[in-house]
Amino acid sequence: MRLDGKVALVLGAAGKDNMGQTIAQRLAAEGCKVVVGGRHAAELDRLAQEIGGAAAVVDITDQAQVDAAADFAVERFGRIDIGVNATGWGLLKPTHDTTEADLDKILAIQFKGPFFFIQAMLRTMDRGGSIIQISSATATIMLENHAAYMGTKAGIDHVIRTVANEYGDRGIRANSISPGITETPMAGMTFQIPEMVEAFTREYPLGRVGTSEDIAAAVVWLGSDECFMTGQNLQVNGGLTLRRNPSLKELGAVAERATAHLHS
């Protein structure tokens, strides 16, 4: 119960079995009172009941809704000690095909929305706290057809650093966590093709791709009083950034072989 007595708000927890839900479950298991937020009320209510927390329907791209979720958490449990943003949109599209509509959407989800969330945490964390942004290894290393996603993740990582610098004197820590490819709904069909998973796995020095549980464990430490760190990006991805992601050409060849095998 490393987080006994603490209160957390976790956004991006409305998708069944996604990373945000795993984080919320682990925080609750460590003694935290957790408010889960996202766009789907029924799934949020189910999760909140499971973990003994509360649910707030919130679209992170709407500042008023983000503020309302933060206020609800304070009203329900008295304060916020840990704020986790696990929202994201895994846009995979060549740079030259990325439209203005694509850019507007991903900027809203992965830059403006997280900025709104940070602002809400700064407003409500009157006794210090820990702000945690879920980023991506691709904010550091390359993955093709992913420019808008990678750029917005890298941008909010830098905002996290500025927050750590500006608000440390209030006892507020701000850090981000960078997973590699992880078996979540955002990963799509990748994990249904063993050969595709193996193409990624061989690039991990620790010999496996990461899990949502790995990220949740890092969140627990960042949210705990043991953490004397701020302004950092934790590469919780088994050493992936020491190497690389597979190239698009390599992944295409793997997909072709897998498809041929299925039809043989």
Task: Please give the distance of CA 116 from its chain centroid, rounded to a whole number.
Answer: 15
Give the C-alpha separation, 93 to 141, whole Å.
17
Task: Determine whether 204 is an active site residue.
Answer: no
**Interacting residues of 41 by C-beta distance below 8 A, sequence separation 6+:** 55, 57
Give the C-alpha separation, 113 to 80, whole Å.
18
Give the C-alpha separation, 186 to 189, whole Å.
9
Closest to 237 measured CA to CA, from 195, 155, 181: 181
Residue 160 sits at the vertex; the CA angle it makes with 139 and 101, to the nearest 5 degrees, is: 55
Residue 146 sits at the vertex; the CA angle it makes with 58 and 98, to the nearest 5 degrees, is: 85
3-state secondary structure of 1: coil
3-state secondary structure of 83: strand
Give the C-alpha separation, 253 to 264, whole Å.
16
Q: Which residue, chain included where needed, has tokens 């302004």?
A: 231
Q: Which one is catalytic: 117, 149, 167, 204?
A: 149
Give the C-alpha separation, 28 to 69, whole Å.
18
Q: Show which residues are catalytic.
A: 149
